Amino acid sequence: MTGSGTTLLDVRGLNCPMPLLMAKRTLNGMEVGAHLCVIATDPGSMKDFTVFAKQAGHDLLEAYENEGTFTYLLVKNARA
């Protein structure tokens, strides 16, 4: 899922609100159009990342769970 232009953020083992806060901080340092892949284990992160992307104006291209691991692929947008 991640390409060479994708930043990977592994926040497994961290609980709310840390996965989202770390993703926000990482996105702030990225160029518009850049991709961020977040890997988390916090079950609440699914709702958090969905709401965050919508409110902040980022595109959430993928959001899925596999055996307790949640993966999100976001694209940083200019509005954010």
Question: Catalytic residue numbers?
Answer: 16
**Residue 67 to residue 20: CA distance in whole angstroms:** 20
57 in Cβ contact with 80 (< 8 Å):
yes
